[in-house]
Chains A and B, each alone.
Chain A
Amino acid sequence: MIDYVHPEVPTQDKRWRLVQAEMRKHGNAHSALIQTLHAVQDAYGYLDPETLERVAANLRLPLSKVWGVATFYQHFRMKPSGKHTCVLCTGTACYIKGAGELQRAVEEYFKVKLGGTTEDGELSFLSARCVGACGLAPVVVVDGEAVGKLTPEALINHLEGVIDADQ
């Protein structure tokens, strides 16, 4: 067995220690990848390539594998998110109840494409396959809180309110 240690660039970043702790908890096993990606996103807010390289080296996984897993799940973000996030549910019930209109309304009003962040960094507009609250269709999750039975106008109002609240 060759004892290969992937060269690692030292970092003073405290957030990295949190990620390291998570990996150690799982014995730096290959299978700890998804847990570790969660830890990275919790600590950094998103997955940046440099940190993913560190993760790959520590878990002894190929870079392409790490990138493949990270991009497979919609939960993981590859870019920094805005101050607020609005996750649009694109499940069947929400789709029928007008998720498409909500999407168009937000895209037009905030000038942001689904999956992107507004230029001022205030709002990230994301989608989820289904948030599991079909009774509230069409539903969005704003900053972790589900808001249901929306019309395009109600959604814009709600988002304006959330953004204005801390200004």
Chain B
Amino acid sequence: MSDQTVSIKTLKIDGRDVSARADETILAVAQQNGIDIPTLCHLDGLTPVGACRLCLVEIAGSNKLLPACVTTVREGMEVFTESEKLNRYRKMILELLFSERNHICAVCVSNGHCDLQDLAVRLGVDFIRYPYLHPVEKVDASHDRFVQDDNRCVLCGRCVRVCGELEGAHTWDFMGRGVQTRVITDLDTPWGESDSCTRCGKCVHVCPTGALIEKGRSVAEMAKRRQFLPYLTLMRQEDQQ
């Protein structure tokens, strides 16, 4: 490895002086320094995609809000991870997510173990100003161990990435576009009939909401286990060295 050749940058996050490798993202540096930026589509061990926009941060000298998960550090950068403006935007993003499909926590298997719910609590979302669309999406229970409920999906793409990048099966992908976008297995084949699915269950456990769940779980019973993710990523890196 060529760690020696990577230059070190110094910057400020929330007024604190921090240093980072030039190829690190603002999010990674913030996490190393105990600064917690809200995230949804991001998951350590998966390629960041900047899809959910919840990790938006302000940078001095720029009018644009930038996603911390895909923005690399620069020398002398001044980053702010909390502000009234950021909070307003983050809440708005959450409200839009809540209004787009069906996120009624009280009847959800992931109630109490849901990243979307946790974010709403953390950011103080107590009202959705947009009309709920409540589309009727399909529930696919054709798999013998898992269930896919599109009504709870926020299209973060964690399942798509974990399946392609870590499991290597790439059973999942997005189909369609805009409000009609859905996450599918193979050629929109029922999950249970998918030939490429290895039934490993990684997608289920990285899913932030109750969109991918284990069969037979009732309300609030679906806690996810993600401890394997950083471990798998580390082992892969070790193998390559």
Chain A residues proximal to chain B, CB less than 8 Å: 49, 52-53, 62-68, 71-72
B164, B175, B176: the one contacting A62 at CB < 8 Å is: B164
B164, B172, B187: the one contacting A53 at CB < 8 Å is: B187
Contact status B185-A64, CB under 8 Å: yes
7 closest A-B pairs by CB: A64-B173, A62-B170, A63-B186, A68-B173, A71-B175, A67-B187, A49-B187
Query: What residues of chain A lie closer than 8 Å to B177, measured between beta carbons?
Result: 71-72
Q: How far, in angstroms, from A71 to B188 measured CA to CA in the complex?
A: 10
Contact status B172-A64, CB under 8 Å: yes
Contact status A64-B176, CB under 8 Å: no
Contact status A63-B196, CB under 8 Å: yes
Smallest beta-carbon distance B185→chain A, Å: 6
Chain B: which residue is nearest A73 at the CB level?
B177
Q: How far, in angstroms, from A68 to B170 measured CA to CA in the complex?
A: 12
Whether a CB of chain A sits under 8 angstroms from the CB of B228 is: no
CB < 8 Å A-B pair total: 44
Contact status B170-A52, CB under 8 Å: no
Contact status A66-B170, CB under 8 Å: no
Whether a CB of chain A sits under 8 angstroms from the CB of B141 is: no
Smallest beta-carbon distance A13→chain B, Å: 18
Q: How far, in angstroms, from A66 to B171 measured CA to CA in the complex?
A: 11
Q: Which of A49, A62, A65, A66 is packed against the most chain B CB atoms within 10 Å?
A: A62
Q: How far, in angstroms, from A62 to B170 measured CA to CA in the complex?
A: 6
Q: How far, in angstroms, from A72 to B189 measured CA to CA in the complex?
A: 17
Contact status B173-A65, CB under 8 Å: yes
Whether a CB of chain A sits under 8 angstroms from the CB of B86 is: no
Contact status B176-A71, CB under 8 Å: yes
Q: Secondary structure at chain A's binding surface: helix, strand, loop or mixed?
A: helix
Q: How far, in angstroms, from A53 to B186 measured CA to CA in the complex?
A: 9
Encoded as 1 (CB less than 8 Å from any A CB) or 0, chain B from 182 to 194 comes to: 0011111100000
Contact status A52-B187, CB under 8 Å: yes
Query: What residues of chain A lie closer than 8 Å to B187, measured between beta carbons?
Result: 49, 52-53, 63-64, 66-67
Whether a CB of chain A sits under 8 angstroms from the CB of B231 is: no
Contact status B164-A67, CB under 8 Å: no
Encoded as 1 (CB less than 8 Å from any A CB) or 0, chain B from 157 to 182 comes to: 00010001000011111111100000
Q: How far, in angstroms, from A67 to B169 measured CA to CA in the complex?
A: 15
Query: Which residues between 118 and 161 of chain B lie within 8 Å of chain A, taking CB atoms?
Result: 160
Return 8 A-B CB contacts under 8 Å, by A number.
A52-B187, A62-B196, A63-B187, A66-B187, A67-B173, A68-B184, A71-B175, A71-B177
Q: How far, in angstroms, from A51 to B185 measured CA to CA in the complex?
A: 17
Q: How far, in angstroms, from A64 to B173 measured CA to CA in the complex?
A: 5
Query: What residues of chain B lie closer than 8 Å to A72, measured between beta carbons?
Result: 175-177
Query: What residues of chain A lie closer than 8 Å to B169, measured between beta carbons?
Result: 62
Chain B: which residue is nearest A50 at the CB level?
B187
Query: What residues of chain A lie closer than 8 Å to B172, measured between beta carbons?
Result: 64
Known pairs A65-B173, A67-B184, A68-B174. 4 more at Cβ < 8 A?
A62-B170, A63-B187, A67-B186, A71-B177
Contact status B170-A65, CB under 8 Å: yes
Q: How far, in angstroms, from A71 to B196 measured CA to CA in the complex?
A: 20
Q: How far, in angstroms, from A66 to B170 measured CA to CA in the complex?
A: 11
Query: Which residues between 52 and 66 of chain B lie within 8 Å of chain A, taking CB atoms?
Result: none
Query: What residues of chain B lie closer than 8 Å to A68, measured between beta carbons?
Result: 173-175, 184
Chain B: which residue is nearest A64 at the CB level?
B173
Q: How far, in angstroms, from A117 to B169 measured CA to CA in the complex?
A: 36
Smallest beta-carbon distance B171→chain A, Å: 6
Q: How far, in angstroms, from A49 to B195 measured CA to CA in the complex?
A: 14
Q: How far, in angstroms, from A52 to B186 measured CA to CA in the complex?
A: 11
